Amino acid sequence: MSSLPTWTHEEIEARLTDYLEGLLQPEEQRAFDAHISNCEQCEPLLASVSHLLNDLHSMNEIEPPPRLIYAILDKTLGPRETVTGWRAAFAWLRALANPRVGYGFASVAATFLIVVSGSSFSWRKPRLADLKPAAIYRHADQQVHLVYARGTKFVSDLRVVYEIQSRLSQDDQQIPVQDRRPAPKGDPGQTDGTNPSSPKQQNRANGIDRNLQMLATDLQLFVERRIR
């Protein structure tokens, strides 16, 4: 086992930063440690520099005075034009030329329009009370319920139409072509004597026919109303 090289105070001082930043080779590290552990001069120096580094790294940046940026811009670009009067009121519009500001402004405006449109606010008769959050919520709640009710009715209407179609197609399939004849005239329960053993079936058939006619009329009215 080779003996450790002996370092002097000057060598320790010269390599202090390398030691603190972990840049020493293993052999050098051992020599450094060996000297430090037995040196009353270098050990406190290492402690104070190490302490100083912690303090330096924890120091916050100084905030420059806000006027500094304007002073620099004035010094480099020259004094900026001072806008007064009505032009000053619209000076902020220049910022919209910047795409970032423009997009942000457009999205805020779109959101505002959507919220206002969803509320009970009327552009023809504007009232400040309509813009209250409670009024907006109440109106939005009403709108949601209305849309839901309309949707439910529409689905129900569609169901009726499909039911009619399916019944018609079922009847077409069940009745053979040669048996198709005009419905007998008469009161419910009256038979034409062709099938006297099943008067209830005849009654049911007459009932379905009447229902179909009513549904067809309703459907026609419904379709006409939709078209209008």
Binding site for another protein (CB under 8 A): 13-18, 45, 47-53, 55-57, 59-65, 68-69, 71-73, 75-77, 98
22 or 193: CB nearest another protein:
22
13 or 218: CB nearest another protein:
13
d(CA 228, CA 219): 14
CB of 81 to another protein, least distance (A): 12
CB of 105 to another protein, least distance (A): 17
Amino acid at 213: Q
CB of 82 to another protein, least distance (A): 16
CB of 64 to another protein, least distance (A): 4
d(CA 101, CA 171): 67
45 or 205: CB nearest another protein:
45
> Which residues, including other chains, have CB under 8 Å from residue 91's CB and lie 6 or more apart?
83
Find tokens 């457009």 and name the residue.
Answer: 106
d(CA 116, CA 93): 23
d(CA 183, CA 78): 101
100 or 125: CB nearest another protein:
100
Contact 131, 186 (CB under 8 A): no
d(CA 145, CA 131): 20
61 or 179: CB nearest another protein:
61
CB of 12 to another protein, least distance (A): 11
Amino acid at 195: N
